Chains A and B, each alone.
Chain A
Amino acid sequence: MTDFTLWDIVRNLLFALRWTVLLSLVSFVGGGVIGLLVLFARIAKRRFARLPAKLYIELFQGTPLLMQLFLVFFGLGLFGISVPAWLAAGVALVLWTAAFLGEIWRGCVEAIAKGQWEASASLGMSRLEQMRHVILPQALRIAVPPTVGFSVQVVKGTALTSIIGFIELTKAGTIITNATFQPFTVYGLVALFYFALCWPLSLTSRLLERKLHVSHRHH
């Protein structure tokens, strides 16, 4: 029987923290790419493109992330693929993130004055050109604070992947607790590590938002 020192606990949690960070990055980047597609479909002119995007968003925002993880984990298995936990975790989190980012960005695009669309249309731009040169650059400015704010939700969302057996920070906490019988210390440390990841993002989001408000007031 070896004894766990506090440093042993911290060191092992730090090892696991890598996976939380990596999964968060993958989910955020992947979710961003698919979220952009969702955004384009959501604001498309044609109804048959808008409707599936709307359903997609409703479905992912109206059901628990945990259920989505289970469904991807067991659903992919139906096709006879043996699904490792990291793959199910990545796929589910990317799809979940995409739904939220798509909806956040739609709000930003719709906040752009209608005149901008009309002006760019009068210059003979196609819809894609309008988005690329006129709308998105302006929407991007207001989209940054809520997007950074949502990244906090992504980091916290990765904790749920511990339940399907992906060994990240929370799962490592459970494993170490089972070995050391010190749940108070271990889960306290786990919470602090998450806090260390999320708090800077929250502060950045708030700071950017304040900056944006100030610049708007001076217009």
Chain B
Amino acid sequence: MTYSFNFMWLATYYPVIVKGILITLELTIVGGVLGIALGILCAFVKLYGTAPLRVVVATYVELIRNTPFLVQLFFIFFGLPALGIRLGELEAANIAMVVNLGAYACEIIRAGIQATPRGQFEAGASLAMSRLETFRHVVLVPALQRIWPALSSQVVIVMLGSAVVSQIAAQDLTYAANYIESRTFRSFEAYSVTTAIYLILAILVRQAMAGVGRLVFPRRVSR
């Protein structure tokens, strides 16, 4: 191997990388927050909704979980304009991530809710709480606490999956790598640097999720 590595381009191109990191993080935060919200809504519908609504949510969840994110992204960005829905690349990327995480979060949260002991529902009812109140105060929070590690992993998976939004020209970290590669022809270096950054981001996102978990669920619920 006579190839000599060269990282001098970093001095010129680091702003591109920083911008890419910020966009990847923005996508992850928006996707994470709205995706989990969508997941909670869908889990609620799937467990307590009317039959037609349940079918709609189940179809959504199955369709998303059994098709690649890349195809979902292409469908939203290239396909939806045929219906008159035009989206910018960042909007499309954001929507795709929310829709994708929503489906996975729905299944994870549903499993958490189903693991709630029956006594909790009865206790809520005996305090004259409505179904929605019981769900919100008694069922949901402990359920989320139970599945928080799984949900955190899913957010990390979605963050790593967001690398493909560069394919619709959303200027995320992978886009930055592609840009640098096309300017400097230092493909291996550009991709190894960005891969290392993704690894660090994955660790940071995991830590952040753990931090949010500690804030939201201050005391451990003993079961």
Interface magnitude class on chain A: 35 or more
Using A202-B62, A202-B66 as known contacts, say yes or no to A67 and B71 having CB atoms under 8 A apart: no
A63 interface neighbour in B67, B160, B177, Cβ under 8 Å? B160
- The answer for the CA separation of A154 and B156 in the assembled complex, in Å, is 18
A74-B198 in contact (CB<8A): no
- The answer for the CA separation of A71 and B68 in the assembled complex, in Å, is 21
A187-B62 in contact (CB<8A): no
In the complex, B18 has a CB within 8 A of chain A: no
Contact flags B184-213 to A (C-beta < 8 A → 1, else 0): 000110011011001100110000000000
Using A170-B70, A173-B71 as known contacts, say yes or no to A62 and B198 having CB atoms under 8 A apart: yes
Name B18-67 residues within 8 Å CB distance of A: 62-63, 65-67
B79-A67 in contact (CB<8A): no
In the complex, A199 has a CB within 8 A of chain B: yes
A199 interface neighbour in B66, B69, B167, B174, Cβ under 8 Å? B66
Using A62-B199, A198-B66, A198-B67 as known contacts, say yes or no to A74 and B188 having CB atoms under 8 A apart: yes
Name B118-148 residues within 8 Å CB distance of A: none
In the complex, B83 has a CB within 8 A of chain A: yes
With both beta carbons as reference points, the residue of chain A lying nearest to B201 in the complex is identified as A62
Using A63-B202, A71-B191, A74-B187 as known contacts, say yes or no to A190 and B71 having CB atoms under 8 A apart: yes
- In the bound complex, residues from chain B placing their C-beta under 8 Å from that of A71 are 188, 191-192, 195
A195 interface neighbour in B1, B67, B174, B187, Cβ under 8 Å? B67
In the complex, B217 has a CB within 8 A of chain A: no
Contact flags A192-204 to B (C-beta < 8 A → 1, else 0): 0011001100100
B195-A170 in contact (CB<8A): no
- The answer for the CA separation of A78 and B192 in the assembled complex, in Å, is 13
A70-B66 in contact (CB<8A): no
What DSSP secondary structure best describes chain A's contact surface? helix
Using A74-B188, A163-B167 as known contacts, say yes or no to A184 and B67 having CB atoms under 8 A apart: no
In the complex, B82 has a CB within 8 A of chain A: yes
Using A198-B66, A202-B65 as known contacts, say yes or no to A191 and B198 having CB atoms under 8 A apart: no
A183-B82 in contact (CB<8A): yes
B71-A159 in contact (CB<8A): yes
A74-B1 in contact (CB<8A): no
In the complex, B3 has a CB within 8 A of chain A: yes
Contact flags B97-122 to A (C-beta < 8 A → 1, else 0): 00000000000000000000000000
A66-B192 in contact (CB<8A): no
In the complex, B80 has a CB within 8 A of chain A: yes
Using A65-B160, A191-B63, A194-B71 as known contacts, say yes or no to A177 and B188 having CB atoms under 8 A apart: no
* Residues of B near any A CB (own CB < 8 A): 1-3, 62-63, 65-72, 74-75, 78-83, 156, 160-164, 167, 174, 177, 187-188, 191-192, 194-195, 198-199, 202-203
